[in-house]
Amino acid sequence: MDTIKVSIELPREIFSALRQDPASFVREMRLAAAVKWYEMRLGSQSKPAEVAGLSRAEFLTALGRFGVSVFQYTADEIAEEVSRV
């Protein structure tokens, strides 16, 4: 996999405030970004899972932890699609 390294600067005290070491914080930040991108419909389940460093199944479990539905269609969108058939 071809990758690009991205770095950000954060205040040192953020890690103690969150009770996380930098490595844990980065994992959680990647997961949170991937979940949000999925929620915004910017990708299917596989790419955000890859960004988060998780398998697709692990990513689906993480969606539940963040309160995000695994389904990208609302009930209204599904009803509209069914009515077209």
Instruction: Dump pLDDT digits (tens) for 53-69.
Output: 999 999 999 999 999 98
User: pTM, whole model, 2 decimals?
Assistant: 0.78
Give me the sign of the Cα torsion angle 54, 34, 67, 12: positive
How far is 32 from 52, CA to CA, in rounded Å?
Answer: 8
- Reference 27, options 67, 66, 54, 57; nearest CA is 54
Instruction: Sketch the domain layout of the chain as residue ranges.
Output: 18-84
Number of Cα atoms under 13 Å in the Cβ half of residue 48: 24
19, two tokens: 């009770």
> Which of the residue ranges 18-32, 35-49, 53-67, 70-84 would you say has the lowest mean pLDDT?
70-84
